[in-house]
Chains A and B, each alone.
Chain A
């Protein structure tokens, strides 16, 4: 089962909920955490994985072979993003406009275009002391596009980690038997074990990086705070979940600040509130210092186990 933890508004406690849920779940199940907030990835600061696997990712940019190019202009014509210009006897590529779709490579009648990887960030992965299989994306500073990194992160599953999580390996084995041509990396793509749990920590907002994080997920856990900002942004993300047809549950964090508008909205729109975490200064202080909620307040461990149980039951229903 794949659970996305998202919020719309930033700073409502997505990472707090995602990491505590992961730790509670890891007591009994194979757990994989993906930090999809590649612009500001913070889950590793709480889970402390041993990040020993690394892979550079990005998009494929066209490279023109001037010896073969006849400057026919077909590539520039099909580029929706105007990333290629053919001027006289020159074909220019503007990398910052390119989306890496490969359309130019396909249409070139002279086969004069090859592609090279334009590195936009890295994927890192490793196990945590409590046995959580962790991976994150880290976008390079100055890069504009987060989506390609998130897309690659969801597909990534380095070999040494698979061995560490038996059930994941088993699942891939089954897949490979059914199709011997599939290689290891693609076999594992988006194939979180049916028995295991994958938890994705989403970026804030409600635009394409959030959608990419949610695609292929089974359950959306919306973490919000009971304020006008929290509510406004919660509505945005809830509407994406509706469109994608993903089940939704809500966690209200910092319960007690603000007003009851979030609860009213959830009741009116059939969004179940699965958990409430009160505003307590000691929680805020502990999280600020890098502690997870279940470590700072162990009484929350059973609550997070119950939350996971609740999600599992709703998903199975």
Chain B
């Protein structure tokens, strides 16, 4: 399965970034073969609508599932119709993307069926 993990660096050993829309980067990893690439998040500098932009970006990368720490309503509403599953990884435990991948493979990550927080209301004037 093609998995996106939100990260703060540019490799599989980079630490997990619990934000989705404002994550520094994304690690795209094939959970069967272990092949991975990293991609800077184009939404990082967006003045608003970061969740929508990041969600479209990972959909274009061909992700089937995403692991992050939280999903806002716009990110959720974009990922969901794209058929991308959303998983939550624990925050504040200094995990790396590799750790998150291991947790995912072991079936230890919880799936979310709703946005985890309200919007940030930062997009407008």
| Chain A–chain B contact at Cβ < 8 A | yes
What separation, in Å, do the CA atoms of A180 and B90 have in the docked complex?
67
Q: Considering only CB atoms, which chain B residue lies closest to A90 in the complex?
A: B81
Which of B6-14, B93-101, B117-125 forms part of the interface with chain A? B117-125
* A97/B48 in contact, CB under 8 A: yes
Interface size on B, residues (CB 8 A): 22
Residues of B near A92 (CB, < 8 A) are 52, 77-78, 81
Q: Is the interface of A mostly helix, strand, loop or mixed?
A: mixed
A110 close to chain B: CB less than 8 A: no
Q: Which of B47, B56, B123, B125 contacts A85 (CB under 8 A)?
A: B56
* B121/A83 in contact, CB under 8 A: no
What separation, in Å, do the CA atoms of A90 and B59 have in the docked complex?
12
* B49/A81 in contact, CB under 8 A: yes
Residues of A near B50 (CB, < 8 A) are 82
A296 close to chain B: CB less than 8 A: no
* B77/A82 in contact, CB under 8 A: no
Report if A88-B48 is in contact (Cβ < 8 Å); known contacts: A96-B119, A96-B123, A99-B124: no
User: Which residues of B, 70-97, contact A by the 8 Å Cβ criterion?
Assistant: 74, 77-78, 81-83
13 A-B residue pairings within 8 Å (CB atoms): A82-B46, A82-B123, A85-B55, A85-B56, A92-B52, A94-B49, A94-B52, A97-B49, A97-B52, A99-B124, A145-B124, A207-B125, A209-B125
Which 7 pairs show the lowest CB-CB distances between chains A and B? A82-B49, A87-B82, A82-B52, A82-B53, A97-B49, A144-B124, A85-B78
A residues at B contact (CB < 8 Å): 76, 81-88, 90, 92, 94, 96-97, 99, 144-147, 207-209
